[in-house]
Structure 1
Amino acid sequence: MLKWFQRQHQTIVQSSVFPKPSAWHDAKKEFSDVIDSAQLYAIAGKEFGILQVENEIVPFLDYVAEHTPVVIGEIGLKHGGNSFMFLRKLQDVTLYLGMDLVLENISKLKFYRRDQQQMYILEGNSQLPAIVNKARQHLAGRQFDFLFIDGDHEYAGVLEDLIQWYPLVKPGGLIALHDIVPDEEAKTGVRPAGRLWGGGVYKLWANIKPHFEHKEFVNDWDQGGFGIGVITKPDDHPLSEELVAQWKADGE
């Protein structure tokens, strides 16, 4: 019953029933014409908070923008900082689909989107068939031009995201993974208290990148975590069963 009430409350808050704070209106006016990636990074940090290295996310945004994506997806929204930058930087986007286990700042994110952008936000585990099927319904036959994966950081989890969502990306589309740089735990075997966790993403990235056209955005390979890797989906063929089996075995 409590969970039902919380969901109903969230639905009401995210609707147009309540007036938006005047600060949101003022902020949107100020950044309405901003498309510079560095400026958007600063705004995202102020309005949402963002867990990115500026020297990585800024050139990455510019790279994605060169591909003029129209349909984009994001697994793992956190506070919404990345989402905000995608929606403001990628001016041709008409459909955004995001998902996470816990949703934050969704009402604000929807208010800050561009007028032509349709948003669908899914609450739940991105690896569950029910969530993937909901996404298919919203896509209505379309495929992602760009998909950003920054959810589950366990090796098996991020691999499962790749397997489940790969078919929903169009040939020539971009798939990005965050945290491709080994973190402190990967280097020492000890996870420092209070530090962000990159998990097994770095290991999966090392396994998959030889098989795709790819690009890396890394400020410093010794920095401990972070880093963005992007592959280009070559065609509409499914992932090789042999490769998937090999990748799964490497994670055991």
Structure 2
Amino acid sequence: MTAAALEVRNVSWAPRKRDPLLLEDTSFTLKEGEVMGLVGPNGAGKTTLLRMIYGYNRPLSGDILLGGDSLRQMAPRAVARKVAAVLQEQPSDFALTVREVVALGRVPHRLGLSTPGKRDADVIDGALARLQLQHLTDRSLSTLSGGERQRVMVARALAQEPQLLVLDEPTNHLDIRHQLEVLQLIRDLDLTIVTSLHDLNLAADVCDRILVLKDGRPQGFGAPVDVLNDALVSDTFQVQAQREQLSLSQKPHLTFRLQ
């Protein structure tokens, strides 16, 4: 039997053992190539969960398995070969060019003090082309707009050739065109992806599975059409939500008003 691409087993987390839990008893399983959207109000525990998935924090209890292997048992370099993350906090003062930043994605794959080879260059070129960054390769990261820096960070993550890609609000700082391009990229990538998104309709459109969090606790997990119902969304976000079925789409579309 093939192991799940990502399995999160009853994880909980707090800064210290005696502190209140910021996330508790959270579980889900993703198949290879599935995209999971993580949604919930501010303070729901989304970033806390993402940090555990990409190995920044270890669960206080429970476990996270990638391809059947526990992240707890992996060395940091081994985790970095399998999991790449694009975070909201973007560096803006790197004294590096765009190409040099994207090249950082190859570091976990090098041994010792080995220098980049032809395969590294080919992977970097492919990532730059996929995010349409070829014309910016020699620009310093500090001279780019927020949206351009976001695209560079996605390219760096792709250069890492991960099994799992973690995206924390990947459409932040992007104009409408580049939001649509990043969402199309998510759809097209042959990767297992976990992404947090504020826009529920974008999440419903791009994701195979949705995990809803509120106050550090799961409220629902499953296909968007099953999870994003009026009652659950209204209770989670403290709004009056109404789901509509658009004639040209099988995906749910939500509208909101204050209660």
Greater length-normalized contact order (CA 8 Å, ≥ 6 residues apart): 2
TM-score by length of 2: 0.34
Greater per-residue strand proportion: 2
